[in-house]
Chains A and B, each alone.
Chain A
């Protein structure tokens, strides 16, 4: 069976500090990978998605970047965090070419102070 991991679970960072959130998927190969941000009690905003190693598409220009150094690893980064970067970050995967459904990780709660 497939599992998706995210870490850390929670993070408190000062404004201007760097960020690195990691997501890994087990039990599948060549998945599509996604990063979302969610405001409290609201829908998900798609930030980045990737269909393969080194292939990143950005939906929203912002202070964040993403990388996919390995097939099942997806990293969300920032060089300098802003207060507005606070939120709940979710990683998701689905099967390439035939995946209607997405499967989500447990999320990372980021608070920028």
Chain B
């Protein structure tokens, strides 16, 4: 089993603050995805990173893939209440299997 650990597990911040979520593993992945999930719904893909050291920006969200392709981070600048949700990372293997992280539940307080 390729375990992906996310930290923190829970995060509650004020609107306008910055935050970083981490996704770590001892395994190497072909790619890594970040998803956001609302209660009672399926996860929605935010981004895919493929190359070690890659950085992608999606408006106020910045995603980074570690050089060794074992870890990733998600940084949110000036959080908004609409950012509230469960953030999940997922590592994909060359065999097209996906292993999901333990999840980070983010609450942005107005």
**What residues of chain A have their CB less than 8 Å away from a CB belonging to chain B?**
32, 34, 36, 41-46, 49, 51, 59, 88, 90, 92, 94, 96-97, 99-107, 109
Contact = CB atoms under 8 A, between A and B. Distances in A.
Interface in B60-101: 86, 88, 90, 92, 96-101
B interface secondary structure, majority: strand
A99 B96 contact: yes
A109 B40 contact: yes
Given A51-B96, A100-B92, A107-B40, 15 more contacts: A41-B105, A43-B6, A43-B88, A43-B101, A43-B103, A44-B88, A44-B90, A45-B100, A46-B97, A46-B98, A100-B48, A102-B45, A102-B90, A103-B45, A105-B42
9 contacts: A41-B103, A41-B105, A44-B88, A90-B42, A97-B96, A102-B90, A104-B44, A106-B42, A107-B40
B55 interface: no
Contacts of B35: 104
A103 B86 CA distance: 16
Contacts of A92: 42
B25 interface: no
Contacts of B44: 104
A7 B59 CA distance: 34
Interface size classification for chain B: 20 to 34
Contacts of B102: 42-43
Contact of A49 (B31, B33, B97, B103): B97
A32 B88 CA distance: 20
Contacts of A34: 98
A41 B86 contact: yes
A46 B88 CA distance: 14
B40 A94 contact: no
B100 A100 contact: no
A33 to B, nearest CB: 11
A51 B95 CA distance: 10
Nearest to A32: B96
